[in-house]
């Protein structure tokens, strides 16, 4: 197959220099995707015919001098909870009515196509973006490309897998409590949940109405910034959409952090007894590197972080139950057992519980805004440990693991995960960068500066299948 570009940035250069065509690139990545399917289950649907047609159109435009921007001709994947006109939408479930997907592209997919991107397939996820994979449903179980005995992370698992293995150069994930950031962390790539409302959710099956985000996942911070520039913008079809000017995502990506202040929220995030020592060391090592590069680092405390994380869970599961209540009453047996159990438990929450969670939400937003007045970004671990194994799932329930991500769905803050190394068992380590509302460019600036000095994000799993090696 020969050498392939690793990033959107690199591929864009190749396409414009004539080193490769979009048709060649797309065909090569589709071949890889098919070869790895039974091993890692990254896709639910591969769209060979339409993808190659879009690649041909991109090449035709290049030849005619038409350049729609950095995504033109780039193979991209879409999480299969987001509608596409040329492929079914399943939400990785037998419950979703197939008629739901018989519609036009979701707004975000329209924007990708308008930018010249090539949509190669629909990516795997946890059923309805919640629960845990259940093989009895008939869907493939997504597996971590660094060690297939381990989880690839939250519900946007297929996107994390596919980017890490080089089956696509970028993809869409969704994030209600960390489902972009966890698979980015566990698969060793980059992914951002931007400010709530900056990207339209129109055409996406909801999980938590007031918490959901659609966002980009790619190998590098730069690539995520390029994708978010295309995806962001007001959409009257989404009642949560922000009618604001879209920030310049690439502004300030000069490799410098001089003059920036990084806050380290020590309580809950760094002193948590559940925090793996290797994760902590990896994040603090990354912070030291940023400090050497000119950033100022200060310790801060975010009050009620633990309570905020609990409030996020109450909110997410209550809103999920509101969406699924009818189907759980009429056809509960069709759900995967973990999804059914997770959403059913939300019936135990009362209206008062939900209201109290929103009161906590108001307090934690106020506390976070106060902390952010003295810093440009916060940095902390994305997850308390590297990717858990499937074997440990039953004994180590996710309820018992602290979440460092869900809190920022509650506040709506931009939050990005980037890789910072590997554990002694060869699993990726990651840190999370949290910014002020609509300050994605600052989050990108910090992450990009780190990636200019490291190459963790360029590592590819050495996972071999017949005829193909990563």
Integer angstrom CA distances of residue 388 from 33, 150, 151, 183: 24, 6, 6, 12
List the one residue out of 379, 385, 380 whose CA is nearest residue 428: 385
Contact 117, 15 (CB under 8 A): no
Beta pairing class for 261-265 and 296-300: parallel
Q: Do 232 and 197 form a contact (C-beta atoms < 8 A)?
A: no
Other CB atoms within 10 A of residue 220 CB: 24
Q: What is the spatial distance between Cα 86 and Cα 195, in angstroms, rounded to a whole number?
A: 29
* C-beta of residue 424 within 8 angstroms of C-beta of residue 189: no
Q: Are strands 428-435 and 415-422 parallel, antiparallel or unpaired?
A: antiparallel
CB 451 within 8 A of CB 220: yes
Cβ within 8 Å of residue 270, ≥6 positions away: 264, 280, 284, 380, 381
Residues 193 and 176: their CA atoms lie apart, in Å, by: 9
Catalytic positions, please?
79, 155, 179
């Amino acid at each position: 197959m020969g050498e392939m570009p690793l990033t959107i940035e690199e591929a864009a250069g190749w396409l414009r220099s004539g080193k490769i065509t979009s048709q060649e690139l797309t065909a090569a990545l589709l071949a890889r995707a098919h070869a790895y399917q039974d091993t890692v289950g990254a896709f639910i649907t591969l769209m060979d015919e339409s993808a190659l047609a879009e690649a041909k159109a991109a090449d035709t435009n290049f030849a005619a001098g038409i350049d729609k921007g950095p995504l033109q001709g780039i193979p991209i994947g879409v999480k299969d909870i987001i509608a596409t006109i040329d492929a079914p939408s399943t939400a990785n479930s037998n419950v979703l009515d197939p008629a739901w997907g018989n519609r036009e592209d979701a707004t975000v997919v329209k924007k990708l196509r308008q930018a010249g991107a090539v949509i190669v397939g629909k990516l795997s996820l946890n059923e309805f973006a919640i629960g845990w994979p259940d093989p009895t449903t008939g869907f493939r179980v997504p597996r971590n490309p660094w060690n297939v005995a381990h989880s690839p992370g939250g519900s946007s698992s297929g996107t994390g897998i596919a980017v890490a293995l080089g089956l696509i150069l970028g993809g869409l994930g969704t994030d209600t409590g960390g489902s972009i950031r966890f698979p980015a962390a566990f698969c060793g790539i980059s992914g951002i949940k931007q400010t709530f409302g900056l990207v339209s959710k129109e055409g996406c099956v909801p999980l938590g109405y007031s918490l959901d985000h659609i966002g980009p996942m790619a190998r590098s911070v730069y690539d995520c910034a390029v994708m978010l520039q295309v995806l962001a913008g007001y959409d009257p079809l989404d009642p949560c959409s922000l009618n604001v000017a879209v920030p310049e995502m690439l502004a300030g990506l000069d490799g410098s952090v001089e003059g920036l202040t990084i806050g380290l929220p020590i309580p809950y995030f760094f002193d948590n007894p559940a925090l793996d020592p290797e994760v902590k060391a990896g994040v603090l090592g990354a912070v030291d590197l940023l400090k050497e590069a000119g950033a100022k680092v200060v310790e801060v405390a975010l009050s009620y972080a633990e309570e905020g994380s609990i409030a996020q869970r109450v909110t997410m599961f209550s809103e999920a139950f509101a969406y699924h209540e009818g189907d759980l009453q009429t056809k509960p047996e069709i759900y995967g057992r973990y999804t059914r159990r997770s959403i059913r438990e939300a019936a135990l929450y009362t209206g008062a519980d939900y209201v109290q969670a929103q009161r906590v939400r108001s307090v934690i937003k106020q506390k976070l805004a106060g902390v952010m007045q003295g810093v440009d970004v916060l940095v902390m671990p994305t997850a308390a440990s590297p990717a858990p194994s499937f074997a440990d799932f039953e004994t180590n329930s996710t309820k018992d693991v602290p979440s460092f991500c869900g809190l920022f769905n509650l506040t709506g803050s931009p939050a990005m995960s980037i890789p910072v190394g590997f554990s002694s068992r060869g699993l990726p380590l990651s840190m999370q960068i949290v910014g002020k509302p609509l300050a994605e460019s600052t989050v990108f600036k910090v992450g990009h500066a780190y990636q200019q000095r490291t190459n963790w994000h360029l590592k590819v799993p050495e996972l071999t299948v017949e005829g193909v090696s990563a």
